[in-house]
Amino acid sequence: MIAILRGDFRGREVSLARALLESGVRALEVSTVSPEYALVIRRMADALGPQVAVGVGTVLNTEHVAAAADAGACFMVAPNTNAAVIANARDAGLAVFPGAYSPTEILEAMECGADAVKLFPAVTLGPDYVRALRGPLPGVRLIPTGGINFENISRYFEAGAWAVAVGSELVRSDESDLDGWANLRQRARRFVELVPKRNA
């Protein structure tokens, strides 16, 4: 499960990341729409090192890739498939998860070098769409994103999702950390409990 961090965390990103890590979340995606996203990535990567995979999301151009790679990101997520961005990210040593919607777009993403494909917006497609795609595209790693919640996360995995990405259902930028991120920790643990345990 990838936790999407989007918004202004006003210097609280390391404590937030640590709360997620301690609750079992091992992959964090910092969106480029967040203020000083590269600095946020650097602070989390420096503080938590190999314990957590820190990546960049909402990647729209090669400038985003360069800034995130320099900051220590290890993967990138995009809302679309852009061959130049994918090639640039692979050259920078990042795992690449571009966005796609239709079978044609998914195959295009794979042909461009995607390691997995962000299926977005998943909420308009549902788990049955993932299951249907697994028939003709059994080898494609799909990451449903958008609208993943406690009620449907298990259905996406049962349908064949390789991973899921969870945004505001998990991480809320206006939440206080005065309580040690207690509410965040509770939500994170609940999500993690619903993620299948596997080696691959």
The three state secondary structure string of 142-158 is EEEECCCCCCCHHHHHH
| C-beta neighbour count of 10 within 10 angstroms | 9
Q: For residue 10, is it within any domain?
A: yes
Q: For residue 184, is it within any domain?
A: yes
Q: What is the pLDDT of residue 200?
A: 45
Task: Please answer whether residues 175 and 183 qualify as being in contact, where contact means their C-beta atoms are separated by less than 8 angstroms.
Answer: yes
Catalytic position from the list 22, 63, 118, 175: 118
Q: For residue 50, is it within any domain?
A: yes
Rg (CA), the chain: 16
Q: What is the pLDDT of residue 174?
A: 78
Q: What is the pLDDT of residue 84?
A: 97
The dihedrals phi and psi of 75, each to the nearest 5 degrees, come to -150, 160
pLDDT, mean of each 10-residue run, the chain (200 residues): 93 95 98 97 96 98 98 98 98 98 96 97 95 95 97 97 97 84 96 84
Q: For residue 34, is it within any domain?
A: yes
Number of separate domains in the chain: 1
Q: What is the pLDDT of residue 172?
A: 87
Task: Please answer whether residues 75 and 64 qualify as being in contact, where contact means their C-beta atoms are separated by less than 8 angstroms.
Answer: no
The 3-state DSSP class for residue 168 equals: coil
Q: For residue 60, what are its two tokens?
A: 């729209």
CATH of the domain at 60: 3.20.20.70
Task: Please answer whether residues 110 and 140 qualify as being in contact, where contact means their C-beta atoms are separated by less than 8 angstroms.
Answer: yes
0.75 exceeded by the pTM? yes
- H helical segments located in 77-181: 83-91, 103-111, 127-134, 153-159
Closest CA to 81 of 59, 100, 65: 100
Closest CA to 40 of 78, 6, 65: 6
| Rounded Cα–Cα distance for residues 90 and 85 (Å) | 9
The 3-state DSSP class for residue 6 equals: coil
Q: What is the pLDDT of residue 176?
A: 79
Annotated catalytic residue 29: yes
Q: For residue 200, is it within any domain?
A: no
Q: For residue 198, is it within any domain?
A: no
Catalytic position from the list 22, 29, 63, 158: 29
Residue 188 is which amino acid? A
Q: For residue 128, is it within any domain?
A: yes
Residues with Cβ < 8 Å from 192, sequence gap 6 or more? 1, 23, 24, 25
The boundaries of the domain holding residue 134 are 2-193
Q: For residue 199, is it within any domain?
A: no
Residue 200's beta-bridge partner residues? Answer: none
Q: What is the pLDDT of residue 199?
A: 52
